[in-house]
Structure 1
Amino acid sequence: MTDHTLHGNCEPCPACALRREALPVQSNAYGKITDHRHIFVECNECGGYGLKPIPVAEIIRRTCEEARRIYWPEFDRRIAG
């Protein structure tokens, strides 16, 4: 199941990124605010979360690819000597 609170289960929403780029530069007591990632914007793609869920099959594919890269048996043999 895709969960936006788990690392690696979502990707940044490109629609939100474009909307945030169009926001005017804001400032506070410390200076200009240039990081708009945490500002809520209306978005019909992701509902304003800023993240789009990755399909379960893609999460599994990426996890298997990472496991093959990290735990490859040949790599273990080379390290062992």
Structure 2
Amino acid sequence: MTDNSLHGNHDPCPACELRREVQDTRPAIREPVPCNVCKGVDFLPLTDAEIVRRTVEEARRIYWPDWERRVSNA
């Protein structure tokens, strides 16, 4: 089961980010507006397949150049 609270297992909610960008900075206290995209969680969970795809991509980027270097020097 995917744990969406772990780093890399979710993306930030673009709707919440946009709202923070356009929010004015006046000191008035306003009621929070619920997000229709993430339901107020502030992130969008990734599927298991997407997590695996991103992990494999990062492993290729980090691990394989070192492995190729070691094999070619042997």
Compute the TM-score of the two structures, normalised by the length of structure 1.
Answer: 0.65
Cα distance in 2 between the residues matched to 1:41 and 1:3: 26
- Give the number of the structure whose residues are more often helix, by fraction: 2
- Give the number of the structure whose residues are more often strand, by fraction: 1
Q: 2:69 aligns with which of 52, 61, 75?
A: 75
Instruction: For structure 1, list consecutive stretches of 5 or more residues without a partner in the other structure.
Output: 28-39
Compute the TM-score of the two structures, normalised by the length of structure 2.
Answer: 0.70
Displacement of 1:53 after TM fit?
0.7
Cα distance in 1 between the residues matched to 2:47 and 2:54: 11
Q: Summarize the Cα distance change of 1:64–1:17 in structure 2 as closer, same or farther, 3 Å threshold.
A: same
Q: Please name the residue that 2:14 is paired with.
A: 14
1:61 equivalenced with 2:38 (yes/no): no
Kindly report structure 1 stretches of 4+ aligned residues shifted beyond 4 Å: none
Report the residue type matching 1:46 in the other structure. Answer: C
Instruction: For structure 2, list consecutive stretches of 5 or more residues without a partner in the other structure.
Output: none
Aligned Cα RMSD in Å? 2.3
Q: Summarize the Cα distance change of 1:42–1:58 in structure 2 as closer, same or farther, 3 Å threshold.
A: same
Instruction: Give the number of the structure with larger relative contact order, counting CA–CA contacts within 8 Å between residues 6 or more apart.
Output: 2
